[in-house]
Amino acid sequence: MAYDEKTLLKHINRIRKEIGHEEVDIDLHEIIYDKEKNELWIITDDRPDKSAVIGKGGWVVGRLREELEINSIHVESFSDFLLKKYRMELSNRRLESFINECGLDDDYILALNNLKTLLEFKLNDLYAFDFKDYFKDSKSDGNQLNGGCDGVNSDGVDGANLNEGSGYADLTVNSHEFKEADKPVAVVATSGGTDSSFSLILAKKLGFNPIAITVDPGTIVLPKQFKYNIDKLCEKLEVEHEYIPVDYSDLIAEAFTGRFHPCGRCSKIIEETIYRYALDNDIRIVVFGDMLSTGSQCITEQAVGDDDGKTLFRLNFPAALSVSKLENKSLTSDYDLKEIKGFGCPLLYEVHSKFPHMKKYSIQRILRETRSGALEPGEALDLIWSFYKTK
């Protein structure tokens, strides 16, 4: 089934008119249809065009999906992809130079090259890349979906490979199994949240032979639902895991004075504890679920105390791959983890309750992730609203 731009736009504007929206001019960059999944990607030139296709409350795209009898319609703006592509290219350049210059042994190089392979694959399948498809457990004979994707670009040109400028997306679905390092080459900071769970899954699948470490200050910071997720994920991935108890009594007491926001100091304690564990166990890479340190900052050298010249390297998986929260949730959804609303930290909500002015700094953090593209505006609004909901 082929979807040409003129027909699709006419269909969209008819729906807009029927539900009381005004007719508008919409610029499309690409239309991609995946026959196997019965999914349609509509790539608009910019975000205002994306909003017009979606419609208020999602009514337009919802009706469009029903009338076309399609399983799912994904509406994205090409301007967002340009930024994502640029950041991944910076990450790829940084990884390549790091692999060539880091001086780490073959086990580390093996795992880092696996990450680079994943990054390059995602770059070459920018629109339709899906982590779950990439890591399918089923065996693949390498067949591509030849003829499985129909599409036209905004110039009406068809072809066979999106990356060569055609209107067809190469939605190749293969099984990717990477050789694992013989020894652990990464410690993964694991909190039970979506970002750290995503990072642990990737570290395992990319052959880092990871050890998962959780800093445990008690239930006021690490409630039982987080521990449930940690234990379940590590068991399912067959990853070694350790809880490290840490005394937060001073931090908690100071937080309840209202003089500082607890997140910064909490993060510092967690980082220092995990760096120390890595040094003590002679593991040179520490993985975090940071989404903001993109490009050249995706992997950085860390100076940690005076340890006979030993150097640690911090690797931020989500930032390196320029992933969104939705991508994180998509990959972790297969592991039956409990969904955690908002930030999930009881200490933070207690501080907000006692000192409402502290919400400002939490909101700033949310806005940073929104500005970076890691969070969609709707997701950001839900997080901010969670600070003001009452029981």
Q: In what order do the strands lie in the sheet with 211-216?
A: 240-245, 211-216, 186-189, 285-288, 312-316, 299-302
Percent of the chain with pLDDT over 70: 87
Residue 245 has pLDDT above 90, yes or no: yes
Q: Give me the mean pLDDT over the 292-296 stretch.
A: 85
Which is more confident, 386 or 224? Answer: 224
Say yes or no to pLDDT of 133 above 80: yes
**pLDDT-based confidence at 204, cuts 50/70/90?**
very high
Residue 293 token pair: 């340190």
**How far apart, in Å, are the Cα atoms of 368 and each of 31, 362, 377?**
31, 10, 11
* Amino acid 99: pLDDT: 95
pTM for this entry: 0.80
**pLDDT value, residue 321:** 93
pLDDT of residue 95: 95
Instruction: Using the predicted structure, report yes or no on whether residue 240 has a pLDDT greater than 50.
Output: yes
- The tokens for 18 are 């029927």
Residue 142 has pLDDT above 60, yes or no: no
Looking at residue 328, its pLDDT comes to: 84
pLDDT bucket at 175, cuts 50 / 70 / 90: low
d(CA 344, CA 340): 6
The more confident residue out of 372 and 96 is 96
pLDDT score, position 2: 59
Q: What is the pLDDT of residues 257-268, one digit of tens each?
A: 999 999 999 999
Rounded to an integer, the average pLDDT of 122-151 is 62
128 in Cβ contact with 35 (< 8 Å) = no
Contacts of 318 (CB under 8 A, 6+ apart): 195, 198, 199, 289, 290, 291, 328, 374
Please give the pLDDT value at position 306: 58
Look at residue 19 in the predicted model and tell me its pLDDT: 92
Residue whose tokens read 């000192």 = 355
pLDDT at 144 over 50: no
Average pLDDT of the residues in 94-98 = 95
3-state secondary structure of 315: strand
- Helix 78-101 vs helix 106-124: crossing angle, to nearest 10: 160
pLDDT of res. 325:
80
Q: What mean pLDDT is predicted for residues 326-355? A: 86
Whole-number mean pLDDT of the chain? 84
Res 278 pLDDT > 80 = yes
Identify the band that residue 174 occupies on the pLDDT scale cut at 50, 70 and 90: very low
For range 78-100, the mean pLDDT: 92
| pLDDT per position as a tens digit, 299-322 | 999 877 655 667 899 999 999 999
What does the chain come to in residues? 391
Whole-number Å distance between alpha carbons of 149 and 168: 6
The first and second tokens of residue 131, run together, are 């982590």
